[in-house]
Amino acid sequence: MKKILITGGAGFIGSAFVRQTLRKHPDYQVINLDALTYAGNLETLADVEKNPNYRFIKGDIGAKDLVEQLFAEGLDYVVNFAAESHVDRSIAGPEIFARTNILGTQNLLEAARRYWPVREPHRPADGAESPAPRYLQVSTDEVYGTLGQTGYFTEETPLQPNSPYSASKAGADLLVRAYFQTFGLPLLTTRCSNNYGPYQFPEKLIPLMISNALADRPLPVYGDGQNVRDWLHVSDHCEAIDIVLHQGVPGEVYNIGGHNEKENIYIVKLILSELKKPEALIKYVKDRPGHDRRYAIDAGKMAKCFGWRPRYTFEQGIKETLQWYLENQEWVNSVKSGDYQKYYEKQYAGR
């Protein structure tokens, strides 16, 4: 059996990837290493916890001994989702972002250096499977900074992060690049646009707006609401990661996106209309400092190398997502039971 370490597997995207891997690769043993921060929740994985191919370990990607122990077991694949992921929290407190996203990644890379044979990087032909071991860094389009009204982020776009979150993700990307160039490790990077779907923590735009609309609370729209994000269903992101993990060329970066640009205000109004709630609930609030205006991914490399394209249309994906939140209020209430109320007050009071 192959062994795959998935870090951050109790979060939004990581949990979808855990589920997908158990389904798609029944011959893999899945180890989920997650620190269970406010964003990690084991209820999210209740449906797989009894699967004999699944093991959960509570721990920090920055913990040296723990990570070394896992590599010593013999890992074929590592996919690093673990991160502090919310821009607003990085503005309120940047330090943990540097620690988890940069130093945590470096700790994983260092263990790979110690336990994985260093050799000349293997460069498979496009579409051919590359031998294990392999490490995939899950990164974000935010490392490229912001776009004007036209153009797209390509893999060659210079890194110009604008928030402590995106700067920490860019720092991790550069470490991955350096460990590939210097030590010849089999490392890959993906950079994806905004994800949506089930189990997203309700601090992020779509689940927060759904949650507030259902409770008839104001929907806080930053600035003029015309910032643009490129939305991709989480299952399309996970499919793309699985492809890059198995077929990508080490040292390469792959952009993943939906060609699905929407202004925030469009999304907010759509949610209100689907839930039959009045637009009077919209409240324009003070803008996010350093707020990136527009993200848009050119995912041409994923299409050219692997024939990958998103399966979901936004119309279908958002309807299913709304339905999921309506049917899973218990999950939402449970993840909001921790420090969420305090966070919400601090983030939105007087804004």
Single-letter code of the amino acid located at 131: P
Strand partners, 58: 34
Distance in angstroms (rounded) separating the CA atoms of residues 201 and 40: 9
Q: For residues 176-215, which are near ligand NAD according to CB under 6 A?
A: 192, 194-195, 201
310 binds, among ligand NAD, ligand DAU, none (CB under 5 to 8 A by kind): none
Q: Among 115, 222, 324, 340, which residue sits at the site for ligand DAU (rule: CB under 6 A)? A: 222
Whether 142 is catalytic: yes
3-state class percentages of the chain: helix first, strand second, coil last, to nearest 5 = 45, 15, 40
CB of residue 116 to ligand DAU, shortest distance in Å: 27
At 17, which helix (H) or strand (E)? helix 12-24
Under DSSP, is residue 95 helix (H, G, I), strand (E, B) or coil? helix
Is 292 catalytic? The answer is no
Q: Is 126 noted as a catalytic residue in this protein?
A: no
Question: Closest approach of Cβ 289 to ligand NAD, in Å?
Answer: 19
Residue 149, classed as helix, strand or coil, is coil
11 binds, among ligand DAU, ligand NAD, none (CB under 5 to 8 A by kind): ligand NAD
260 is a contact residue toward ligand DAU (CB under 6 A): no
The one catalytic residue in 165, 196, 325, 344 is 165
Q: Please answer whether residues 190 and 246 qualify as being in contact, where contact means their C-beta atoms are separated by less than 8 angstroms.
A: no
Q: Choose one: 37-45, 65-73, 110-118, 313-321; the region binding ligand NAD (CB under 6 A).
A: 37-45
Contacts with ligand NAD, 113-142, as mask; x by CB under 6 A: -------------------------x-x--
Contact 333, 189 (CB under 8 A): no
Going across the sheet that includes 187-192, the strands are 54-58, 28-34, 2-7, 77-80, 134-140, 187-192, 253-256
Pairwise CA distance, residues 53 & 25, whole Å: 10
Give the residues lining the site for ligand NAD (CB under 6 A): 7-8, 10-14, 33-37, 39-40, 60-62, 81-85, 100, 104, 138, 140, 169, 192, 194-195, 201
